[in-house]
């Protein structure tokens, strides 16, 4: 029996080992010749393969490879936002062994035989990243049998040398820790309720990662939407490889050396997150589902009576008539507009969920009420079909349903315009869900393999289009809201995604559990998403599935109150978890943190605008701010907001003290203003009512008095808290705009740069300058000095 078991195990491990064994693939041929054009260098190989380098910026080079054929003329990606790069200065040099391309920042050395690509720092010639073996493809179908969809295409792979102390970050939404070294990941958007650490894949695909070694960072964006694989040294300690079950070798190489610079370039390439309306930073409440309308009003009444700030209520699927998207249930919500107006008087916005599943309801089905969405879509032929021409009929909430082919431009437009039903009723934002797309018939996607999408006339199958489905649904929604309300910033939330999603949607990390393990994943997941170009993230505060308790809910708010997306949400059969559900003791603590979030709004908004402009996220791992401090490389139970606020939450039960790492410099305890020297670990008290928070000495943090909702008191003074460093200096920024319209894109904003310096016994605060044309109206700017005993010192403004 034992022997049998051992041999079964051996057999299994052999199967697993050979599953994605890229060493069996056929390497690309050696270089035969090359040709230079304005911004490209195209190599022809001995096996008639072609490799193309495109020089986009001094720190950005694209690599494409076509095996045994020319580089296809057609070049399209849903992820890419910018293709009009100004070619930077670059040179080519050749020797018998290699061809070297150099910009001012990167040197790309293409070794001729075998064809190996190497990236170096153009100034120091230091090696940053090098092929471990030539790029490869599955010429003989050796990996076909293990492919999810054997008809998808041919496996392609790129293998890089694994640095002895190289670290890996980003890769979007993974139920994993911050440093992904030794990890193996699959990208295939999947509906995975109740996922736990290690579950993979989950909802999103962002095939972009950062490598960091000796403090020097690079980025690789493998823009291939097929089911893809990333191995950061799991299968071999020699290589980190990535590959896909079809499509091209098509990757972008970014050189830092700073991660922040890479994130900026990545945002240039795949799109900068537009600013959502300011109220999106407000506190949000949801559950599956609040109905009827009077219950929604009751939730809001409770919030207001209990003095808990709130900006948004979400309507989950039960607001609809039998889960038919773009309808309201007449019994539950007879007059959505009246509800919106009533809530509006209390400062509350309403967001509705919209799923991709359109109820399959042909006219002949005998329904008294016809379903115009199905009828219109069918008539216009906008729904997905199988390769034999049949409608694709998955099962989702409405039962048998159909999905829109969002690759069709006119279908996207139609879908976007349908949102008029919501905007006419004053619905403020749209929550797009189930967009992996989830299909209850088969959650893996197997049932969808022969679904064909228009895809720019190429008529491609699910293998290519699954991972971009949510991106295009979010795009259709965003563009629809933009057309319907051109004077307002769209607000869209998504569960699934592909790279570029930040142009259209904010996101949350899906159906988490109400457990401590799930809470512990919040910080690495939010920070990793931030390192993957998605700054506006959050999770269901309190967890979605299962039962929270007062302690878990409080600790969950102590992370969530600083996440861009702060929404408490609960599954249909889960125990209620609004802030008051576990008693006054916990409610009082939650109130303290929600109020603090609102006090910090100017700081959060200033940092969010930075994310929009620079691609550097608001919710950061410490390594982003302290890239040369190796103590931060694995630190994923602490985070920072912007440059200045460090938070060390408690994510375990019954814990009231923890170690906190403070990077070099001086830090103020946020609660006591006591100063600490950084560069070390300190032990900090963390009773349930206190999350350890520290402010970087040298910071100036703008705040407002607490409020019930973001727009409540526009004229309130702004108080800037000054935390001088050891030299008595501090500086900070305040960003303001109307918080609603897209006018900020045309310069209607005000960025105020402030400094403070000690002079004698006092402090001088200087407004160093302002940028932009927005006038915030009459509002006072006050300055409060921190860390000088208990009495704040008023400052003289110059
Ligand atoms: C999915 C969503 C969840 C929602 C539910 C019902 O599970 O992730 O947030 O409540 O569907 O719409």
- Top mutation candidate among 398, 433, 567 for ligand 1, by most atoms within 8 Å of CB: 433
Confidence (pLDDT) at 2: 46
**3-class DSSP assignment, residue 428:** coil
Mean pLDDT along residues 670-687 = 98
> What is the length of the chain?
798
Structure tokens at 514: 């109400």
- Does pLDDT of 353 surpass 50? yes
pLDDT tops 80 at residue 341: yes
Q: What is the mean pLDDT of residues 688-701?
A: 98
SS3 673: coil
Can you spell out the DSSP letters for 717-777?
-EEEEEE--TTSEEEEEEEEE-SSSGGGGGT-EEEEEEEEEEETTEEEEEEEEEESS----
For the record, the structure tokens of 292 come out as: 């009827």
Contact in structure between 321 and 328 (CB atoms under 8 Å): yes
Closest residue CA from atom 4 of ligand 1: 288
Of 198, 178, 180, the C-alpha closest to 518 is: 198
Question: For residue range 638-662, what is the model confidence (pLDDT) as tens digits?
Answer: 999 999 999 999 999 999 999 999 9
- Give the active site residue among 436, 551, 609, 610: 436
- What pLDDT is recorded for position 789? 55
| CB-ligand 1 contact for 511 (6 Å cutoff) | yes
495 lines ligand 1 (CB under 6 A): yes
Sequence-ordered list of residues with C-beta below 8 angstroms from that of 263, at least 6 positions apart, any chain: 531, 533, 614, 615, 616, 617
Q: What is the DSSP letter of 280?
A: G
Report whether residue 317 contacts ligand 1, using a CB cutoff of 6 Å.
yes
Cα–ligand 1 centroid distance for 433 (angstroms): 7
Q: Which residues of 558-573 are buried (b: 16+ CB within 10 A; e: fewer)?
A: bbbbbbbbbbbbbbee
CA pair distance 505, 469, nearest whole angstrom: 13
From 203, 314, 434, the mutation candidate for ligand 1 (largest count of ligand atoms within 8 A of CB) is 434
* Ligand 1 nearest atom to the CA of residue 571, by list position: 10
Q: How far is the CA of 376 from the centre of ligand 1 (A)?
A: 26
Which residue in this structure is represented by tokens 């921190």? 786
Work out the average pLDDT over 61-77: 97
DSSP 498-546: ETTGGGT-EE---S-BSSHHHHHHHHHHHHHHHTTT--S---EET-SBS
Confidence grade of residue 787 (pLDDT, cut at 50, 70, 90)? confident
| Model confidence band, residue 17 (pLDDT cutoffs 50, 70, 90) | very low
The ligand 1 atom nearest the CA atom of 495: 8
User: Can you list the positions of beta strands (E) in 106-194?
Assistant: 106-111, 116-121, 127-137, 156-161, 167-170, 184-187
Dist CA 16 CA 141 (whole Å): 17
Tell me how crowded residue 454 is: count the other CB atoms within 10 A of its CB. 19
Mean pLDDT of 516-544: 98
Protein residue closest via CA to atom 7 of ligand 1: 511
Q: State in Å: Cα 677 to ligand 1 middle.
A: 45
CB distance 570 to ligand 1 below 6 Å = no
Which of the pair, 17 or 211, is modelled with greater confidence?
A: 211
pLDDT at 715: 85
Q: Could you tell me what percentage of the chain is helix, strand and coil, using 3-state DSSP and rounding each to the nearest 5? A: 25, 30, 45
Integer Cα distance of 243 and 227 in angstroms:
9
* 401 Cα: distance to centroid of ligand 1 (angstroms): 17
- Give the position, in ligand 1's atom list, of the atom nearest the Cα of 287: 10
pLDDT at 795: 59
> The tokens 């299909």 sit on which residue?
439
Q: With a cut of 70, say whether residue 1 has pLDDT above it.
A: no
Give the count of alpha carbons within 13 A of 341, CB side only.
6
pLDDT at 778: 85
Asked if 436 is an active-site residue, the reply is yes
Secondary structure of 173-229 as H, E, C letters? CCCCCCCCCCCEEEECCCCCCCCCCCCCCCCEECCEEEEEECCEEEEEEECCCCCEE
The residue written with tokens 């240039």 in the block is 268
Give pLDDT, residue 16. 42
Per the annotation, the verdict on 689 as an active-site residue is no
Quick check: CB of 318 below 6 Å from ligand 1? no
d(CA 643, CA 326): 42
- Compute the distance between CA of residue 71 and CA of residue 56 in angstroms, rounded to an integer: 17
Whether 436 lines ligand 1, by a CB cut-off of 6 Å, is no
Q: What is the pLDDT of residue 367?
A: 62
* 3 state SS of 695: strand
- From the alpha carbon of 353, which atom of ligand 1 is closest? 12
Distance, CA of 729 to CA of 463 (rounded, Å)? 56
- Across all residues in the chain, what is the average pLDDT? 95
CA pair distance 82, 94, nearest whole angstrom: 31
| Best residue among 191, 195, 288, 545 to mutate for probing ligand 1, ranked by most atoms within 8 Å of CB | 288
Q: In the predicted model, is pLDDT for residue 167 greater than 60?
A: yes
Contacts of residue 558, Cβ cutoff 8 Å, sequence gap at least 6: 593, 647, 649, 650, 691
What value does the mean pLDDT take over residues 66-72?
A: 98
Structural tokens at position 553: 């809910």
- Reported confidence tier of residue 796, pLDDT bands at 50, 70, 90: low
pLDDT digits (tens, 9 = 90+) for 251-261: 999 999 999 99
Kindly give the number of the ligand 1 atom that is closest to the alpha carbon of 316: 12
SS3 state at 110: strand
C-beta separation of 382 from 408 below 8 A: yes
* C-alpha 286 – ligand 1 centre gap (Å): 10
Determine the distance separating the centroid of ligand 1 and the alpha carbon of 645, expressed in angstroms.
32
- For the Cβ of 510 lying below 6 angstroms from any atom of ligand 1, the answer is yes
Helix (H, G, I), strand (E, B) or coil at 586: helix
pLDDT bucket at 790, cuts 50 / 70 / 90: very low
The CA-atom distances, in angstroms, between 672 and each of 74, 485, 789 are 61, 46, 10
Does ligand 1 have an atom closer than 6 angstroms to the CB of 398? no
**173: closest CA among 212, 210, 196, 202?**
202
Q: Whose CA is nearest to atom 3 of ligand 1?
A: 511
pLDDT (0 to 100) of residue 662: 98
Pairs from 107-116 (Cβ < 8 Å, separation ≥ 24): 108/53, 108/61, 108/253, 110/31, 110/43, 110/51, 110/53, 112/30, 112/31, 113/30, 113/31, 114/27, 114/30, 115/27, 115/28, 115/29, 115/30, 115/31, 115/43, 115/45, 115/51
Model confidence at 5, pLDDT cuts 50, 70, 90, reads very low
pLDDT at 159 over 60: yes
- Which residues are bridge partners to 676 per DSSP? 667
Indicate if the pLDDT at residue 4 is higher than 90. Answer: no
Residues 6+ apart with CB under 8 A from 7: none
Residue 9 clears pLDDT 80, i.e. is over it? no
Could you give the CA distance from residue 299 to residue 289 in angstroms, rounded to a whole number?
A: 12
User: What's the average model confidence in pLDDT over 237-242?
Assistant: 97
- Predicted confidence (pLDDT) per residue in 331-340, tens digit: 999 999 999 9
Q: Is 200 exposed, middle or buried (0-12, 13-18, 19+ CB in 10 A)?
A: middle
Q: Among residues 138, 179, 511, 587, which one is catalytic?
A: 511
* Ligand 1 centroid from CA 177, angstroms: 24
Tell me what pLDDT residue 173 has: 98
* C-alpha neighbours within 13 Å on the C-beta side of residue 708: 16
> Token pair of 470, please?
């949510």
pLDDT greater than 50 at residue 14: no
How far is CA 475 from its chain centroid?
15
Region 155-172: what's the mean pLDDT? Answer: 98
- Determine the average pLDDT of the residues in 170-180: 98
CA distance 451 to 460: 8
Tokens of 727: 């030299």
Q: Which residues contact 430 (CB under 8 A, 6 or more apart)?
A: 351, 352, 353, 354, 419, 422, 477, 481, 491, 492, 493
Give residue 7's pLDDT band: very low, low, confident or very high (50, 70, 90): very low
Q: Which of 118, 329, 433, 578 is catalytic?
A: 433
* Ligand 1 center from residue 356 Cα (angstroms): 13
14: CB partners within 8 A, 6+ apart = none
What kind and span of H or E run contains 681? strand 680-685
CB atoms within 10 A of CB 584: 11
193 Cα nearest atom in ligand 1? 7
288 lines ligand 1 (CB under 6 A): yes
How do residues 291-314 score in pLDDT, each as one tens digit? 999 999 999 999 999 999 999 999
Mutate to test the pocket of ligand 1, among 511, 541, 567 (most ligand atoms within 8 A of CB): 511
What is d(CA 320, CA 798) in angstroms, rounded to the nearest whole number? 57
Measured CA to CA, the distance from residue 261 to residue 176 in angstroms comes to 24
DSSP for 224-239 reads: --SSEEEESSSS-SSE
Q: Is 610 one of the annotated active-site residues of the chain?
A: no
pLDDT in tens, 318-331: 999 999 999 999 99
């Amino acid at each position: 029996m034992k022997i049998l078991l051992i041999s079964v195990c051996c057999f299994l491990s052999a199967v697993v080992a050979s599953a994605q064994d890229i060493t069996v693939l056929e390497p690309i041929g050696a270089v035969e010749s090359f040709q230079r054009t304005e911004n490209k260098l195209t190599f022809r190989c001995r096996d008639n393969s072609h490799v193309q380098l495109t020089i986009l910026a001094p720190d950005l080079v694209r690599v494409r490879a076509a095996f045994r054929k020319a580089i296809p003329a057609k070049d399209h990606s849903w992820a890419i936002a910018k293709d009009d790069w100004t070619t930077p200065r670059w040179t080519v040099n050749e020797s018998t062994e290699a061809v070297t391309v150099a910009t001012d920042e990167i040197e790309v050395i293409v070794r001729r035989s075998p064809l190996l690509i190497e990236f170096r720092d153009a100034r120091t010639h230091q090696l940053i990243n090098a092929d471990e073996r030539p790029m490869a493809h599955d010429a003989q179908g050796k990996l076909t049998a293990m492919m999810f969809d054997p008809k998808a295409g041919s496996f392609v792979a790129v293998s890089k040398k694994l640095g002895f102390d190289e670290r890996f970050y980003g890769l979007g939404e993974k139920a994993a820790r911050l440093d992904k070294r030794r990890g193996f990941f699959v990208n295939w958007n999947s509906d995975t309720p109740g996922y736990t650490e290690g579950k993979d894949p989950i909802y999103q695909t962002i095939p972009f990662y950062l490598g960091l070694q000796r403090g020097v960072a690079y980025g690789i964006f493998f823009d291939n939407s097929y089911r893809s694989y990333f191995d950061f040294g799991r299968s071999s300690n020699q290589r980190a490889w990535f590959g896909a079950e079809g499509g091209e070798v098509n990757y972008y190489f970014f050189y830092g050396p700073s991660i922040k610079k890479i994130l900026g370039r990545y945002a240039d390439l795949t799109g900068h997150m537009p600013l959502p309306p300011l109220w999106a930073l407000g506190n949000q409440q949801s559950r599956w589902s609040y109905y009827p309308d009077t219950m929604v009003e009751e939730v809001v009444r409770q919030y207001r009576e209990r003095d808990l700030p709130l900006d948004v209520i979400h309507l989950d699927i039960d607001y609809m008539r039998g889960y038919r998207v773009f309808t309201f249930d007449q019994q539950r919500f007879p007059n959505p507009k009246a509800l919106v107006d009533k809530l509006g008087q209390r400062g509350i916005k309403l967001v509705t969920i919209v799923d991709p599943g359109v109820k399959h309801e042909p006219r002949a089905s005998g329904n008294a009420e016809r379903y115009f969405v199905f009828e219109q879509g069918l008539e216009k032929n906008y729904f997905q079909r199988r390769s034999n021409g049949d409608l694709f009929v998955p099962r989702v909430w409405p039962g048998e349903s159909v999905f829109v082919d969002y690759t069709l431009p006119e279908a996207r437009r139609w879908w976007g315009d349908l949102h008029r039903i919501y905007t006419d009723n004053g619905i403020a934002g749209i929550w797009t869900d189930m967009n992996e797309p989830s299909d209850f018939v088969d959650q893996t996607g197997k049932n969808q393999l022969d679904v064909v999408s228009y895809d720019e006339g190429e008529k491609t199958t699910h293998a290519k289009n699954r991972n971009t489905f949510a991106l295009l649904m979010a795009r259709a929604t965003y563009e629809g809201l933009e057309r319907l309300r051109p004077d307002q910033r769209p607000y869209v939330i998504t569960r699934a995604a592909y790279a570029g999603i930040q142009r259209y949607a904010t996101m949350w990390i899906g159906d988490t559990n109400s457990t401590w393990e799930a809470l512990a994943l919040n910080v690495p997941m939010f920070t990793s998403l931030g390192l993957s170009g998605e700054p506006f993230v959050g999770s269901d505060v309190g967890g979605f599935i299962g039962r929270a308790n007062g302690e878990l809910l409080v600790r969950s708010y102590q992370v969530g109150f600083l996440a861009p997306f702060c929404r408490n949400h609960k599954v249909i059969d889960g125990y209620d978890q609004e802030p008051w559900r576990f008693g006054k003791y916990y409610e009082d603590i939650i109130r303290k943190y929600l109020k603090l979030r609102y006090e910090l709004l100017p700081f959060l908004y200033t940092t969010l605008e930075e994310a929009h402009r620079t691609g550097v996220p608001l919710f950061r791992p410490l390594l982003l701010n302290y890239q040369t401090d190796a103590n931060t490389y694995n630190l994923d139970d602490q985070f920072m907001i912007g440059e200045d606020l460090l938070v060390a939450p408690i994510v375990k039960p019954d814990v009231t003290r923890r170690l906190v790492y403070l990077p070099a410099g001086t830090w103020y305890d946020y609660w006591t203003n006591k100063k600490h020297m950084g560069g070390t670990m300190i032990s900090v008290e963390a009773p349930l009512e206190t999350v350890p928070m520290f402010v970087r000495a040298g910071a100036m943090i703008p705040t407002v008095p607490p409020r019930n909702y973001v727009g409540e008191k526009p004229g309130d003074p702004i108080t800037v808290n000054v935390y001088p460093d050891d030299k008595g200096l501090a500086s900070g920024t305040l960003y303001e705009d109307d918080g609603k319209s897209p006018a900020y894109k045309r310069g209607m904003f005000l960025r105020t740069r402030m400094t403070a310096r000690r002079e004698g016994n006092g402090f001088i605060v200087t407004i160093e300058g302002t940028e932009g044309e927005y006038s915030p109206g009459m509002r006072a700017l006050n300055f409060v000095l921190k860390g000088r005993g208990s009495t704040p010192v008023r400052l003289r403004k110059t």
